[in-house]
Amino acid sequence: MKEVINLKTNNFNKIVIDLVFVSSLDDDFIIPGSLLVRMLTKKTNEFSTEENFSNALIKNYVLDFSFSKQNCANNFIYTYHITIPDKEVLQDQEYKYIDTLRFLKKAIYEPYANKDTFYEDEVNKAKENLKNYIESRLKNIDSYSSLKLDDIIDDLGYFKNSIFKHQDEIDNITGKDLFKYYKSIIQDKNPLIFVVGNTNDDFLKLLAETFNTKEDCTYLPYKINPYKINKDVRIVEERKDYSQSIVKMAYKVKNYTKDDMIMLSLITTLLNSQSSSILSDYLRNLKNLVYTCGGFAYLNHGVLIITAKIYRNNKELTIKAIKDVMKSFKDSAFLEEKLKLVVDRMRVNLKRQKDSIFSNLNDIKDNYFGSYLPLSKEYEMVSKIKVNDIVKFMDRVFLDTIYYLEGEKDVK
């Protein structure tokens, strides 16, 4: 029988199920995957209007039914997110969930389509939705600057599967092309099954049997894809019609390994956390240089990115201030209190996680895929990190790229 990765808990009055279908990264499928996300949970052949399908979800005790796509190292991860009530809510101890699960199986494996093709009008709606999404992202300074920096630092082609690099292919996809892709990643496959909630053995057995009739999907093990370190810092500047200006600085970790993920994540937390507030305290509260600022890490690539929205005349001062912030990670006395605050916040978050069914679900998925640590394990490891470990790690962190996007006018 197919294994169900299960966390049994009676802390919630619902059961959350993630049915995960895995596909290897492939340039040919960038656009089809983005289109499917916009189509697969609105109608089925049995319920051919959105209203009818929505009513059917309610009648079958489905509180949430959605579909998403994400990259995970060497894989595309497609997930049906499902929420159903537990029996305490249903107040029917005899209810076996079999009708609900059969309904969900049909909704997943019998989508709104004509034999081997999706209806072209549905595909065209999804195409327009995707085009509008891309256009809106490119009009937003945060999104545009992030995409531009990704392109600049991408020496090894890790971001080649971005839809923004393939948008000219959208109109080439037909309903038949899209159904062929759907069939290959979902209709012909069994999902990986993750469950959190007040479950019992009978429910888990029924769930496994319901989705155990086809070929199993395979997951390529998570692996680190570190960037190479450039000899000289790249400086890229451009000017566009935005009402703000933005500075982005990318740092790369030399000789980055999977064991370094915990430390890079900690650095990001120290920069951003309300407990430590290293970045905003210095750039905003002390220096008054930025509207907003923040740090973000590509943990599987060993890249730290610091972003600051600024008035254009603060550009040089902001770049210097960010460098000063990074130098502060070499100051043991400064870090001592900040580290204590972050560790204590993680302790609190670990207790609060018990109140979030979705945090619990993400934990068991991260543990299965190896993409990151469960919060309990992260807290255990961070609790053992010493200030000198951080200082030593920062000896391997190098500034790689400075990107400056100047808006043509500042906000008044």
Instruction: Report the C-alpha gap between 358 and 42 in whole angstroms.
Output: 23
Instruction: Report the C-alpha gap between 49 and 59 in whole angstroms.
Output: 15
Helix/strand/coil for 72: strand
**Domains of the chain, first to last:** 4-216 (3.30.830.10), 234-407 (3.30.830.10)
Instruction: Report the C-alpha gap between 242 and 240 in whole angstroms.
Output: 6
**Other CB atoms within 10 Å distance of the CB of residue 215:** 8
Q: What is 297-335 written as a DSSP string?
A: EETTTTEEEEEEEE-GGGHHHHHHHHHHHHHGGG-HHHH
Question: Which residue in 294, 275, 266 sits closest to 348, CA to CA?
Answer: 275
Dihedral (CA of 250, 255, 258, 263) sign: negative
The amino acid at 315: K
149, 301 contact by CB (below 8 A): no
Percentages helix, strand, coil for the chain (3-state, rounded to 5) are: 50, 25, 30
76, 24 contact by CB (below 8 A): yes
**Other CB atoms within 10 Å distance of the CB of residue 32:** 20
- The model carries a pTM of 0.89
Based on the number of CB atoms within 10 Å of its own CB, is 152 exposed (0-12), middle (13-18) or buried (19 or more)? Answer: middle
Strand duo 75-85 + 64-72: pairing: antiparallel
The per-residue pLDDT string of the chain (412 residues; one tens digit each, 9 = 90 and over) reads 468 999 898 888 899 999 999 887 664 577 898 999 999 999 999 999 999 999 999 999 999 999 999 887 677 889 999 999 987 777 766 677 899 999 999 999 999 999 899 999 999 999 999 999 999 998 999 999 999 999 999 888 888 778 888 888 899 999 999 999 999 999 999 999 999 998 989 899 999 999 987 878 777 788 888 988 888 999 999 999 888 899 999 999 999 999 999 999 999 999 998 888 899 999 999 999 998 999 999 999 999 999 999 988 899 999 999 999 999 999 999 999 999 999 999 888 888 877 788 888 988 988 888 888 888 888 899 999 999 999 999 999 999 999 999 988 655 5
Instruction: Report the C-alpha gap between 368 and 373 in whole angstroms.
Output: 9
Based on the number of CB atoms within 10 Å of its own CB, is 247 exposed (0-12), middle (13-18) or buried (19 or more)? Answer: buried
Instruction: Report the C-alpha gap between 351 and 344 in whole angstroms.
Output: 11
Cα torsion through 369, 80, 197, 84, rounded to 10? 180
**β-strand partners of 310:** 245, 290
3-state SS of 78-145?
EEEEEEEECHHHHCCCCCCCHHHHHHHHHHHHCECCECCECCHHHHHHHHHHHHHHHHHHHHCHHHHH
Q: Which two tokens stand for residue 136?
A: 């809106």
